[in-house]
Amino acid sequence: MPQPPTTLTDELGIALSNLADSATGVLTPTLRLGVTGLSRAGKTIFITALVHNLLTQGRLPGFAPLADGRFIGARLAEYPDATIPRFAYEQHLATLTGTPPAWPEGTRRISQLRLVLKFQSAKWWAGMTGPATLNLDIVDYPGEWLLDLPLLGLSFAEWSAEALDRARLPGHATEAADFLRTLEGVDVSGDASDVDAERLASTFTTYLRRSREHGALSTLPPGRFLLPGDLEGSPALTFAPLPRPAGATRNGSLYAMLEGRFEAYKAQVVRPFFRDHFARLDRQVVLVDTLRALNAGPEAVNDLETALTAVLACFRQGEANPLLRPFSRRIDRILFAATKADHVHHTSHDRLQAILNRLVANASKRARFAGAATRSLAIAGIRATSEGTIREHGETLPTLVGTPVEGQTLDGAIYDGRTEIALFPGDLPERPDSLFEGGEPVSLNFLRFTPPQKLDRNAAGDPVLPHIRLDQAMDFLIGDWMA
């Protein structure tokens, strides 16, 4: 799928926004980092951990500016756009380090945060110019909104055909039953009716929610149906896919009304998001909850691949031209990160990374062809488990040690949120392609664990957040700007 089509007005708006960014950063360069991912991929955790480690100079041996002794420090700064909500870093950190610790709520709206980083450049002239400064702007937005971007390249008829074909697949029979039954009871060529539109939109939204619960991702657009915010109940969110009527579409028909609302959704909701935020990024992190899809089975894995490929085709990617950067930004580095690497033993991390590489192979190839650098990592922004071994039937098994979230169940046991356990998580397949060939679901003992119950403190008394490869992720994303 090509990048979303833009109008001359869109391009002018993007250029003016980029020019305004450049004007505010005449003395201090600004790097805009987008953090995205599908629902429950761990965006809030990743950003909180990244910001905290920069502010406290955490344990980051793979982050070259800090490892080389060139990183002087970081501070939070006022974000220049007062109309964008601020990422609630302090509240999220308090939740993670509280008594008892808990995971903060996931992303429900767009938010941004600015960090000012001070460092000593490694370049030969650095001794004459003194310390350098970089503004790091972090842009966070819901994964559901990400899935809307491909809609910009689709007509109502095309989107409807795709959505209805998926809804009628055998694997979606239970989730889509109510919506398909409601659809059979309406005349798409008949007179437009708000009652019919609301009934269809309601049952379609229920179908989307049920699909998300069972691991389906490409079925989720329109994303604002799941996270409507201040648009809840508006006509822009009151539509559903319809079969195309035979012959010409009659003005005043139900089909014409919902087609108009679909186009309004793209024009008034999706396009401004793309123009004002998404098209102004320099670097992109794509967080992928690979393990959740694996645990749901081959259909969910294939669905995840479909969703990622469609979404990543929307990125404005390619090598950045310094002369054109004041007017036109390009994403020149993309990090693909398989999150929750702490939910499998470290001996499976290479396999988890290989599976991620297979999931994003098409998107990664397209990005590299356009001139963008890509990398894949298995990470945990905050590590919730440690590792150990157990003896079972005369065999030594690698285990995870952690505290399951209250209410989690496994083999008949219900956990109370306070008891630490040792768990053999299972093995990932050696050959990633086997997951896409209709084989049996991966047998993982998959539990959600609480944040670490006890944290070390640094010399200043700040909590030290354990992680897996967060330092390598940071070095890839911003290390070259601090060289």
> Distance of alpha carbon 163 from its chain centroid, rounded?
22
Amino acid, res. 399 = T
pLDDT, tens digit (0-9, with 9 covering 90-100), for 9-53: 555 555 555 555 554 545 789 999 999 887 788 999 999 999 999
Last residue of a domain, one of 255, 271, 287: 271
Please state, in angstroms and rounded to a whole number, the distance separating the CA atoms of residues 146 and 140.
11
Asked if residue 121 belongs to a domain, the reply is yes
Asked if residue 360 belongs to a domain, the reply is yes
pTM (2 d.p.):
0.87
Q: Are residues 354 and 281 in the same domain?
A: yes
Indicate the burial class of 264 (C-beta count within 10 angstroms; 0-12, 13-18, 19 or more): middle
Q: Are residues 68 and 182 in the same domain?
A: no
Please provide the average confidence, as pLDDT, over all residues in the chain: 87
The pLDDT of residue 126? 67
Asked if residue 13 belongs to a domain, the reply is yes
Asked if residue 426 belongs to a domain, the reply is no
Q: Are residues 253 and 267 in the same domain?
A: yes
CATH number at residue 120: 3.40.50.300
Average pLDDT (409-428) is 91
* Range ranked top by mean pLDDT from 95-99, 139-143, 427-431: 95-99
Domain, as residue range, for 114: 8-141+277-380+469-482
pLDDT band of residue 146 (cuts 50, 70, 90) is confident
Lowest mean pLDDT among 106-115, 213-222, 255-264, 374-383: 213-222
The pLDDT of residue 215? 67
Reply yes or no on whether the pLDDT at 476 is more than 90: yes
Q: And the tokens for 154?
A: 């689709």
Last residue of a domain, one of 271, 300, 320: 271
Please state, in angstroms and rounded to a whole number, the distance separating the CA atoms of residues 316 and 372.
10
The pLDDT of residue 113? 96
The pLDDT of residue 173? 82
Average pLDDT (391-419) is 91
Q: Are residues 267 and 284 in the same domain?
A: no
Looking at per-residue confidence, does 27 or 309 come out higher?
Answer: 309
The torsion angles phi and psi of 305, rounded to 5 degrees, stand at -60, -45
Prior bond of 104 cis (ω within 30°): no
The pLDDT of residue 455? 95
Reply yes or no on whether the pLDDT at 402 is more than 90: yes
Lowest mean pLDDT among 17-31, 284-298, 343-357, 370-384: 17-31
Last residue of a domain, one of 271, 298, 313: 271
Reply yes or no on whether the pLDDT at 8 is more than 90: no
Asked if residue 289 belongs to a domain, the reply is yes
Q: Is the dihedral of CA 427, 430, 436, 437 positive or negative?
A: negative
pLDDT band of residue 279 (cuts 50, 70, 90) is confident
Q: Are residues 354 and 478 in the same domain?
A: yes
Q: Are residues 13 and 135 in the same domain?
A: yes
* Range ranked top by mean pLDDT from 26-35, 262-271, 275-284: 262-271
162 sits in the region (left: phi over 0; alpha: psi -120 to 50; else beta) called alpha
Looking at per-residue confidence, does 17 or 72 come out higher?
Answer: 72
- Residue pair 417/406 in contact by the 8 Å Cβ criterion: yes
Q: Are residues 135 and 158 in the same domain?
A: no
Tally the domains of the chain: 2
Q: Are residues 473 and 344 in the same domain?
A: yes
Q: Are residues 16 and 135 in the same domain?
A: yes
Place of tokens 């499998």: 344
| Three-state SS sequence of 60-86 | CCCCHHHHCCCEEEEEEECCCCCCCCE
Q: Are residues 29 and 137 in the same domain?
A: yes
pLDDT band of residue 356 (cuts 50, 70, 90) is very high
The pLDDT of residue 438? 63
Average pLDDT (414-428) is 92
Q: Helix, strand, or coil here: 123?
A: coil
The pLDDT of residue 147? 79
pLDDT band of residue 1 (cuts 50, 70, 90) is very low
The pLDDT of residue 94? 97
Asked if residue 433 belongs to a domain, the reply is no
Asked if residue 306 belongs to a domain, the reply is yes
The pLDDT of residue 427? 85
Asked if residue 3 belongs to a domain, the reply is no
How far, in Å, are 12, 72, 267, 312 from residue 132 at the CA level? Answer: 32, 10, 41, 33
The pLDDT of residue 17? 58
pLDDT, tens digit (0-9, with 9 covering 90-100), for 159-218: 999 999 989 988 788 899 999 999 999 999 999 999 999 999 999 999 998 888 776 766
Q: Are residues 298 and 363 in the same domain?
A: yes
Q: Are residues 18 and 104 in the same domain?
A: yes
Average pLDDT (122-135) is 82
- Residue pair 250/237 in contact by the 8 Å Cβ criterion: no
The pLDDT of residue 390? 86
- Residue pair 405/417 in contact by the 8 Å Cβ criterion: yes
